[in-house]
Amino acid sequence: MNTTCPLGGFLATANAQQLHDFLVEDVVDEQDGLSAMRWLLANRATVANAVLCRLYDVACYQVGESCFRDTAPADEHDKWFVSTLADSDLASVRVPLGASLDDAEALAVSHLQLAAKFFGSVPEALAA
């Protein structure tokens, strides 16, 4: 684990929304964005997953608290599903249900290949 935190400790303490805003609004140099996300994935994977989901308009909802409550089996009500924009290239990918919000976000990042998408198209991700 890389314990040296760039940006004066900001990456180590900021929440997912603050990190999203930083990447979208404050990163001037593409390499800074890449370095920040690499550090987050290595040291704060749960937060990195949440940031990547926000960058790509991926949301996670609990089945029992959604419009699927009445149609989903009762044993799935405590699970979490991944939702993407209907017109997104990600919409056709099936992501399994997660046991928790963190688990669903991790599954989204993995199945939708959000980290690879980020590192392959940083300028587009940061402009979203």
**pLDDT class of 29 with cuts at 50, 70, 90:** confident
pTM metric for this prediction: 0.86
Reply yes or no on whether the pLDDT at 3 is more than 60.
Answer: no
Contacts of 76 (CB under 8 A, 6+ apart): 63, 64, 97
Closest CA to 15 of 64, 48, 61, 55: 48
What per-residue confidence (pLDDT) applies to 32?
Answer: 83
- C-beta separation of 101 from 59 below 8 A: no
Residue 98: phi, psi to the nearest 5?
-105, 155
Q: What is the pLDDT of residues 80-119, one digit of tens each?
A: 999 999 999 999 999 999 999 999 999 999 999 999 999 8
pLDDT above 70 (res 24): yes
Q: Are strands 59-62 and 80-83 parallel, antiparallel or unpaired?
A: antiparallel
Q: What is the DSSP letter of 24?
A: I
Among left, alpha and beta (phi > 0; psi -120 to 50; other), residue 4 is beta
Domain segments of the chain as ranges = 7-127
**Residue at token pair 């959604």:** 66
Per DSSP, the three-state class of 77 is: coil
Share of the chain above pLDDT 90, in %: 66
